[in-house]
Structure 1
Amino acid sequence: MPAITPRILAGLTACTLALTSLSSAPASAEPEPGTKQTRKVHLIMDSSGSMAEPTGGGTTRIDAAKKALHSVIDNTPDDTELGLRVYGSHDNPEGSPESCKDSDLVVPIATDNRDRLRTEVDKYKPVGWTPIDHSLREAGKDIGSPGEDEQYTVILVSDGEETCVPDPCPAAAELAEKGIDVSVNVIGLNVSGKAKEQLQCIADKGKGEYYDVDNAEDLEEALNQAAKRTGQGLTMSGEPVTGSPTPEDAPVLEPGTYTDTLPANEEPRWYRVPRAMAENTLWAGGFIQNAADRGYALAIRWYHPNDLDDDCSWDKSSTRGGDGFNLGGVAVPSVSSTFTTACTEPSDELLLQLSLDQDTELPVQFTIVDEPAVEDPESLPEAASSPQWQDMPEEKADGDPLIGGASLADAPVLEPGSAHPINLTRGEVQFFAVDLDWGQSLQAQASMEAGENIYMHWSIDIYSQFGSPSGDLGTESFGNLNDGVTLKNATPEVRYNNRGEVGARGQTALPGRYYVVVAGGDADENTSLNLETPGTLQVDVMGDAGTGEPTYREAEEPQPGPDAPRPEGEQESDDGSSGQNWGLIGGLAGGAVLLAGLGLGAVWFLRRL
């Protein structure tokens, strides 16, 4: 088997990403890996006649709103786009068609409009009525079709209930459905009863927050809070499948990445997995979110079709991560030195069983890899020891923050020895990817800057290409971030004979793509609006690539004829064959269907590498 070179890695990565587009499309587009999301905040302000009434703090509601708007304009980062729509600014009879369409886009959403915003804020006067439904629908037109890298926050400020339609909540729901990152936050100023219930409904249907204020100071604080961004949580990707409750009816799954929903209380789900060669090792690894705070959660078992009474190999996951971000993952080979069982016997397929030790059903993402048998595994290096941290001087990276992915599939790939500025909010989780070869280990360090009254459970973890925990030196911080905090983690060296070992060593038995995950505490908080906490993420790879690389047995696949096209620059070897990068194929699972699923064409491509 040839060494994994940057060219091979790039080629496999490109093919893997191409396969992602062949799988089922998500309901909403996701940002490209590492793309910085464009923040867009659209303000919808009340200029109805009741805004002339007094509010707490010795001022009128309209003056309090203007002061709060100036504060938002001054405090919002320059790269955040702001827009302003005003309703109720014209003196029309109540209930008239004109009053129910009294909503004007006075400043379109943009970045270079701060002076114009200030001018328009000072202009508007409280004279009209409260057409909230129409204003929300017009705001939808202002937004249009959000791009995949755009996060929209609509902020509605009102001191009363809708005056034109019975229920404006459906308009808020339609607005929130425009994209994965569109939310409607609502500020109720001196409201109660039906008006308050209506505004709370708008925030709920709009996937946003509701703020109840009754004075000028609270209004200013709420408006600034509502303009902050929300954090991203974990997402899953893969081909949706439904496992069978019994092995007899199990669906056939080729190597690839899948999603399913596992029932509660250890009720099993079965799948049939073909082997390319009868003695190959099959890997299955997966993860769940929101597992129990302690104990085991996801169980993976392999069975030989001739013996369904005893599993060949199995393992259970334990939860990892900070408060709320509990990622339970594990990867299990069908054969290893730990398990001397029926799965060592040749067969064209094995049976895979997944189950959940939880009292509620949960979604699962899992990956299957078919690894050929190895020549003389006893001659390979023994299992790696636990990692020893190698000094990484703290750096502060400059430039725009690198936005981590929300899953394995969209994590940006980082170069060894690099440092990147990052931003996290409370409850947020971000994924970053680093490629490892045989004989290499990964170190990751996140230095989060000090912030006033930032109280959360920070953590840094490393996961394998399957989503199983592979870091063995994780540090966490719980409490105020008044002095800043440095988080560290590292993997054992990637070795073939790590398989079957306990903990992180058993999860680092294949080369490929590993994932650094930085989390900002309780995942339940990631829908709240929070200040961003800046920091620097550093990653490095230790060890010489290719050390301890195994020799895989050749698969007897049909070869293309002499006139078949070959990748540019590639020549057939003297003996007409070459090795396969099976370990790396598994490492590039990352939410895409594996290359093995493409059939002979992909197999031939890999053989030419």
Structure 2
Amino acid sequence: MTRGIHGSVVACLVAGLLSVAAPASADDESVLGQDGGSLILVLDGSGSMKESAGGQTRMKAAQKSLRTVVDRLPDDSKVGLRVYGSTIEDGKGSCKDSELLVPVGDVDKAKLKAGIDKLKPLGNTPIAYSLKQAYKDLPKEGPRSIVLVSDGEENCGGDPCKVARDLKKKGADFYVDVVGLQVDAKSRSQLTCVASAGGGTYYDVSDIEDLPSTLTRTSVRAARGYKEAGLPVEGAESASADAPEIEDGQWLDTIGDTGAEHYTVPDPGKGTLHVSASTRTTSPELSATEGLSISLTSADGTECGDSASISVQGSVNQKAPYAVDLTSTPADRKDCGKGPYVVSVEPPQVEGVKPLEVLVRTEPAVKTTEGLPGASESSGYSDDATAPKASGEAQPALGSPSFAGAPPVAPGLYSDSILPGETLLYRVPDVGWGQQPVCDFTLGSTPQAGDALKGGGYFEVALANVYGPTKALVTDPSATTNRVQYAGAANQPLHVAGPTVAYQNRTSSDERIRADALDGDHYCALTLFTSTPTVDEKVGEVPVTLSVAVTGDKTGEPQYASKPKQSANDAQSDDGGVGWGWIVGGLVVLAALIAGLLAAFRRRRDSDATTVDG
């Protein structure tokens, strides 16, 4: 799972991980991909924390470990602290005994340590109530995480699993991770459910000596938040000429709150229009299927060529982002008349509101296609691609579960880590005409993973993929070197490459070749599939090395009849700084998310009085 507390927390905390080398210090600006949101720790202060654990009480062990974590927090992290069951032993009020000791905000290490030190194991275990309160403690925007540390199950009559599920429905940028401290089977079942329903990970600590590394690992994974980016836009509820106009660039909206989203795009004339829509998998069940579809029509509803759609399954996609792309040529639009045209994006058939990124790129007409290289071969282009492996010291790069958050990785060597169930993306900038992105991943061996996977026939399947400039998948489906069975005891290499970028790729009969007919940024992705919850937890964090290359000379650039349009995003940042439109866009979309969620909440409240408090 991947979340967002301030990304620089990762570089600091990762140094404490067992079996994984420290990539960088907290203030090392060379760490690629730093950025994130807010985290609140929710600690069990109930009477059961008095029990002995390795010569000390569970509470003392937790306090010692948490002080270590606090010491490693960089100054720009945003962390809060809440405790339950620590002030009222039993009776009236004990099931609402949940206290915010340190509000979420710029880190104050002294206050955090003081809050940790004052904890006394005393009362009941109101987990459900505390999760509701912790959600209210978090900011209203940005990636947010709750990390719950508990040694037992709910005993106040609440249903923490339902609460976590209801809270998760409020948005894709919120997660609940859980650390179970020497719990019995019944408690483990409930806490595992809480983590799963909250879109997070359950960590089981049976040996108290493992608690410091587990808490560190939890903080590390909480640091990689799904990030979205784009200029703000709010799609219309109906397909008409009154829908908001989106020009070349990336736009940010939400989907799932009102149904299909509709936008108008300018007439590209004799040029080609490329539009893609992307979001992320949020279905809590790995067997669930969701997807997007996109179409282009005239203002009167006449279809302009075929629509496009994508469907993904959780067990295959592992909560990675996905995109559907549509290419519209003059021939596709011949029956539509002149523009502007309407782009319609149909939502996934799943509950919840989530961010939607819409990418528009207008490609001018070419003067001639004579002399341009032909389309890439439809098979073999990945396995047959060769590139020298990068050498030297690996630079830390924090892979992201989102396209917008993917760190830029120019040709070179990089280091990272991955957990079972994660997909991490890395952006290969400016792959030109005639060039091919090549990514070689290596999953490192660890004693922990080796012990977890030896015997019993267990292994973790790993898969490498490549996405093109429109975020569509361009991996060779016939490739064999991009998939391995990771057994933990030895390093496992994975090799993946995209097709050679060529204008004539759009003429291929293979949809993945057609999806790579533009120059620009590409994305390499690594997925480590889940096995079983118990085995995944024992495997823990797996070190990753990534060697990036871009092969081939830049050649075969088409001669356009006119100059390509400037991206609206570039226009927003012509002063050399970060485009304010992107920043405002994030705020507007977050506001829209909240508004949509409130509306959905009101509708649910009217029909279901048991819906969780907002």
What is the TM-score normalised by the length of structure 2? 0.62
Bigger drift between 311-320 and 354-363 goes to 354-363
Task: Give the Cα separation in 1 of the matches to 2:466 and 2:60.
Answer: 47
Q: Could you say what secondary structure the match of 1:508 adopts?
A: coil
Shift of 1:331: 2.1
- 2:151 aligned partner: 188
1:50 Cα offset (Å): 8.2
CA distance in 2: counterparts of 1:544 and 1:169, whole angstroms: 55
Kindly state the Cα deviation for residue 355 of structure 1 after the two structures are TM-superposed: 2.5
Helix, strand or coil at the partner of 1:319: strand
Residue number in structure 1 paired with 2:310: 317
1:536 alignment partner, one of 535, 539, 545: 545
How big is the shift at 1:515?
1.3
- Is the 8 Å Cα contact of residues 467 and 523 (structure 2) preserved in structure 1? yes
2:515 maps to amino acid: Q
TM alignment of 1:356-371, pairs within 5 A = 356=347, 358=349, 363=354, 364-371=356-363
- Superposition pairs of residues 48-87 of structure 1, within 5 angstroms: 55=52, 62-63=56-57, 65-66=59-60
Distance 1:508 1:198, change over 3 A: closer
Whether the 8 Å CA contact 2:42–2:134 is kept in 1: the answer is: no
For residues 319-342 of structure 1, the C-alpha deviation after alignment (integer angstroms, 9 at most, x for no partner) is 389452354323222117xxx343
Offset at residue 367 of structure 1 (A): 0.6
Q: CA deviation at 1:257?
A: 1.7
Match of 1:242 among 235, 247, 259: 235
For 1:81 and 1:598, locate their aligned partners in 2 and report how far apart those are by CA, in whole Å.
Answer: 29
Which one of the candidate residues 386, 405, 410 is aligned to 1:410? Answer: 405
Matched, 1:257 2:264: no
Structure 2 residue 500 is matched with structure 1 residue 493? yes
Q: CA deviation at 1:432?
A: 1.6
Give the drift of 1:174: 4.7
SS in 1 for 2:278: strand
Describe the SS at the equivalent of 2:214: helix
Give the match for residue 526 of structure 2.
518
Among 123, 130, 137, the residue aligned to 1:161: 123
Distance 1:204 1:315 in 2: 32
Contact between 1:293 and 1:326, CA under 8 Å: does it hold in 2? Answer: no
Instruction: Report what 2:483 is aligned to.
Output: 476
Equivalent position of 2:341 in the other structure: 350
Unaligned runs of 5+ residues in structure 1 are: 1-26, 101-128, 146-152, 555-579, 587-592, 602-609
Residues 389-422 of structure 1 deviation map (CA, whole Å, 9 limit, x = unaligned): 2334656764562112443223222222x11111
Larger gyration radius, structure 1 or structure 2: 1
Aligned length: 483
Equivalences for 1:99-114 in 2 at 5 Å?
A: none
Between the aligned partners of 2:305 and 2:561, the Cα distance in structure 1 is 22
Deviation at 1:372, TM superposition (A): 1.4
SS in structure 2 opposite 1:193?
A: coil
> Who is 1:107 aligned against?
none
The match for 1:111 is: none
Shift in alpha-carbon separation, 1:509–1:41, aligned structure 2, 3 A? closer
CA distance in 1, matches of 2:347, 2:271: 27
Query: Cα gap change, 1:372/1:64 in structure 2, threshold over 3 Å: closer, same or farther?
Result: closer
Return the alpha-carbon distance in structure 2 between the equivalents of residues 304 and 203 of structure 1: 41
Please give the per-residue CA displacement for 1:281-332, whole angstroms capped at 9, x wherever unaligned: 21111223228969883222223457x4443243323538945235432322
AA of the residue aligned to 1:186: V
Q: Report the TM-score when normalising by structure 1.
A: 0.63
- The CA deviation string for residues 544-568 of structure 1, in whole angstroms up to 9 with x for no partner, is 11x11111113xxxxxxxxxxxxxx
Q: Contact conserved, 1:42 with 1:84, CA < 8 A, in 2?
A: yes
- 1:315–1:330 contact (8 Å) kept in structure 2: yes
Is 1:503 aligned to 2:497, yes or no?
no
Q: Distance in 2 between matches of 1:310 and 1:424?
A: 44
- The residue that corresponds to 1:283 in the other structure is 274
Match of 1:143 in 2: 107
The match for 2:375 is 383
User: Which of 214, 218, 236 is the matching residue for 1:225?
Assistant: 214
Unmatched segments (≥5 aa) in structure 2:
9-28, 110-114, 168-174, 185-204, 454-458, 577-614
For residue 478 of structure 1, report the CA deviation from its aligned partner: 4.7
| CA apart distance, 1:371 | 1.6
Given the superposition, is the C-alpha separation of residues 371 and 168 from structure 1 closer, same or farther in structure 2, using an over 3 Å criterion? closer
**Deviation readout 1:403-451 (Å, 9 max, x if unpaired):** 12443223222222x1111122233333221221111111111101123
Contact 2:42/2:146 (<8 A) preserved: no
Among 299, 302, 309, the alignment partner of 2:296 is 302
Q: CA deviation at 1:469?
A: 0.9
Q: Distance in 1 between matches of 2:243 and 2:116?
A: 47
Deviation of residue 49 (structure 1)? 9.2
1: CA distance between counterparts of 2:245 and 2:81? 54
What is the aligned partner in structure 2 of residue 172 from structure 1?
134
2:396 is paired with a residue whose SS is coil
The separation in 2 between residues aligned to 1:594 and 1:245, in whole angstroms, is 26
Amino acid at match of 2:269: A
Q: Is the 8 A contact 1:155 1:184 kept in 2?
A: no
The CA deviation string for residues 224-254 of structure 1, in whole angstroms up to 9 with x for no partner, is 4233232536443322422333335433222
Amino acid at match of 1:460: A
State the partner residue of 1:426: 420
What one-letter code is carried by the residue in structure 1 that aligns with 2:399?
Answer: G
Kindly report which structure 2 residues correspond to 1:12-23, keeping only aligned pairs within 5 A, or say none.
Answer: none
Residue 458 of structure 1 aligns to a residue in which SS?
strand
Q: Which letter maps to 1:373? A: A
1:595 aligns with 2:604: no
Q: Is residue 34 from structure 1 mapped to residue 32 from structure 2 by the alignment? A: yes
